């Protein structure tokens, strides 16, 4: 009797042991997959790392792990049998993925996707499988691209009316644009055109700008995550030449907009403001806005110098046009272009700029010269400028040649094409 009881107890213990082992095995074989985030914004052109993990922590070295593009079910990366497998992987991701498994013994893995593209936007599944079960989790990738700094330029319609055109490229998703006045109130009657180029978007927007207007801002943004760029223009429409400062061999037109080399030496009254040796002339009024922008048509001259100068510059004798002497200029002499820093620097300029844009930003302490038709930067200087201490500076050397100020309506200055070389625009009037 006692023997039977002992046998029964042994059988019962054995059964319980088998049951507990079965429970432990079942518990060990059960897992859940979690993604580190449900969605992530990815910058176009940069690398992105997305990850997932198991609960409870289980060694996943011998599991199969797949990263799958949910849209079409294609495998973008496959890990199994303890190694990466590259065959049968979505061709759009070949060579662009890296399986990060430093934490795989704890059930943690990540995937690096290189050079994110707009077309990568989708849901992605992280899939784990062992001999007994499988589970998965999803992550949404939201590509986003911040476009170039807006390029602003002006198109003239009449003496009192012009259009301000604002262009930017390289946006994703599709951007929108709006305009604000100096009180940050929305301006109406703007028009916008959006084009799709190489999976990103370009936008050109314009608004009418009247001479009585003051500061105007162009804002371009998208919704992911409301990336935004802003450009502000405060047009100096009153830039004119000052005949009282012009060398006697220079001719200033009646409207104070055109400068040419005189056919003969003029009989002018000399004063301490006039250049007595070099063929120079200054602007009539100091530049007083925080941001000042004006245009010069130089198409009819092969020899010119333009830029800015301090009010107190020396005007007698042969002058050295360097920043230490109060001059920030660029110069054309035939086919050569020169900037004057501490020493003359030759500029590499393709083509022949017909209209020069000059932009002075007092707060940034910067003056920049542009080819107004393409927005290519020709030269930029940094310095400490004092408001109302700076005057526009001009020179033309050869008889029969002239340059024209175009900060107001001017028949000599052509409008820049808002679509020309749009991909090369790097942000005029920052």
Taking Cα atoms as reference points, which of 272, 280, 237, 275 lies closest to residue 257?
Answer: 237
Report whether pLDDT(409) > 60.
Answer: no
What contacts 93, CB < 8 A, 6 or more positions away?
76, 77, 113
Residues 376-386 have pLDDT tens digits of 889 999 999 99
398 in a structural domain = yes
Quote the pLDDT of residue 115: 95
Of 181, 211, 233, which one is at a domain's C-terminal end? 233
The verdict on residue 349 lying in a domain is yes
Please tell me which residue, 375 or 312, carries the higher pLDDT value. Answer: 312
Cα–Cα dist 222/176, whole Å: 6
Backbone angles phi, psi at 199, to 5 degrees: 75, -5
Q: Which residue has the tokens 């929108």?
A: 176
- Between these two residues, 214 and 201, which has the higher pLDDT value? 201
Q: Indicate whether 427 pLDDT > 90.
A: no
79 and 162 belong to one structural domain: no
Task: Reply yes or no on whether the pLDDT at 14 is more than 80.
Answer: no
| pLDDT tens for each residue of 138-147 | 999 999 999 9
Determine contact, residues 402/260, Cβ cutoff 8 Å.
Answer: yes
The Cα–Cα gap between 392 and 282 comes to: 6
> Is residue 207 predicted with pLDDT exceeding 50?
yes
pLDDT at 192 over 70: yes
Q: Quick one: 122 and 189 in the same domain? A: no
CATH of residue 197's domain is: 2.60.40.10
Pairing, β 134-144 against β 39-43: parallel
Q: Are residues 206 and 338 in the same domain?
A: no
Residue 280 and residue 194 in one domain: no
162 and 140 in a common domain: no
pLDDT surpasses 70 at 412: no
Whole-number CA gyration radius for the chain? 34
- What local confidence, expressed as pLDDT, does residue 211 receive? 59
What is the distance between the alpha carbons of residues 422 and 202, in angstroms, rounded to a whole number? 8
CATH number of the domain that 359 lies in?
2.60.120.920
Please state, as a whole number, how many other Cβ atoms lie within 10 Å of the Cβ of residue 75: 17
Q: Which domain holds residue 39?
A: 31-144
**Tally of structural domains, the chain:** 3
Identify whether 217 is part of a domain: yes
Give the pLDDT score at 268.
84
CA distance 206 to 376: 20
Query: pTM for this structure?
Result: 0.62
Average pLDDT over residues 198-209: 90
* pLDDT score for 272: 87
Q: Are strands 303-310 and 291-297 parallel, antiparallel or unpaired?
A: unpaired
Indicate whether 343 and 273 sit together in one domain: yes
Domain C-terminal end among 111, 144, 177: 144
What's the pLDDT score for residue 13? 47
- Residue 421 inside a domain? The answer is no
Once rounded to an integer, what is the mean pLDDT over residues 244-256? Answer: 93
Domain stops at, among 192, 208, 233:
233
The pLDDT value recorded for residue 426 is 32
- Predicted confidence (pLDDT) per residue in 302-321, tens digit: 999 999 999 999 999 989 99
The confidence score (pLDDT) of residue 259 equals 95
In this structure, the answer to whether residues 199 and 276 fall within a common structural domain is no
- Do 169 and 210 share a domain, yes or no? yes
Q: Are 204 and 317 in the same domain?
A: no
Q: Answer yes or no: is pLDDT of 347 > 60.
A: yes
The percent of residues in the chain predicted with pLDDT above 70, rounded, is 84
Provide the pLDDT for residue 391.
96
* CA–CA gap between residue 224 and residue 242 (Å, rounded): 50
Does 311 lie in the same domain as 286? yes
| Residue 15 within a domain | no
269 and 381 inside one domain: yes
Res 237: pLDDT: 79
């Amino acid at each position: 009797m006692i023997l039977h009881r002992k046998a029964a107890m042994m059988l019962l213990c054995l059964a319980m042991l088998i049951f507990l082992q079965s429970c432990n095995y079942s518990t060990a074989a059960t897992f859940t997959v979690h993604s580190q985030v449900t969605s992530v914004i990815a910058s176009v052109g940069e690398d992105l790392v997305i990850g997932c993990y198991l609960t409870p922590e289980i060694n996943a070295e011998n599991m199969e792990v797949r990263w799958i593009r949910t849209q079409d079910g294609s495998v973008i990366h496959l890990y199994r049998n303890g190694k990466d497998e590259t065959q049968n992987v979505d061709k759009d991701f070949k060579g662009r993925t890296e399986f990060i498994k430093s934490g795989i013994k704890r059930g943690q893995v990540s995937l690096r996707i290189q050079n994110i593209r707009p077309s990568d936007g989708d849901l992605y599944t992280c899939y784990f499988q062992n001999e007994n079960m499988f589970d998965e989790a999803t992550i949404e990738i939201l590509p986003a691209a911040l476009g170039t700094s807006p390029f602003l330029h002006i198109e003239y319609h009449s003496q009192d009316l012009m259009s301000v055109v604002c262009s930017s490229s390289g946006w994703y998703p599709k951007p929108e644009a709006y305009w604000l006045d100096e009180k940050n109130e929305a301006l109406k009657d703007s028009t916008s055109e959006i084009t799709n180029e190489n999976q990103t978007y370009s936008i050109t927007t314009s608004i009418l700008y009247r001479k009585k207007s003051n500061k105007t801002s162009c804002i371009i943004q998208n919704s992911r995550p409301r990336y935004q760029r802003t450009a502000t223009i405060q047009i100096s429409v009153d830039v004119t030449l000052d005949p009282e400062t012009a060398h006697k061999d220079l001719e200033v037109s009646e409207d104070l907009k055109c400068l040419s080399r005189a056919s003969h030496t003029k009989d002018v009254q000399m004063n301490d403001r006039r250049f007595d040796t070099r063929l120079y002339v200054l602007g009539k009024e100091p530049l007083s806005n925080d941001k000042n922008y004006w245009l010069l048509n130089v198409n009819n001259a092969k020899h010119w110098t333009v830029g800015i100068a301090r009010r107190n510059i020396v005007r007698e004798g042969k002058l050295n046009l360097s920043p230490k002497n109060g001059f920030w200029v660029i110069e054309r002499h035939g086919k050569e272009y020169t900037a004057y820093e501490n020493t003359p620097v030759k500029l590499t300029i393709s083509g022949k700029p017909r209209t020069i844009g000059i932009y002075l930003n007092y707060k940034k302490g910067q003056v920049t010269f542009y080819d107004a038709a393409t927005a290519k930067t020709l030269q930029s200087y940094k310095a400490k400028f004092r408001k109302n201490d700076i005057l526009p500076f001009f020179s033309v050397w050869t008889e029969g040649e002239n340059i024209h100020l175009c900060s107001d309506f001017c028949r000599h200055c052509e409008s820049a094409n808002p679509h020309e070389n749009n991909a090369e625009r790097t942000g005029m009037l920052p």
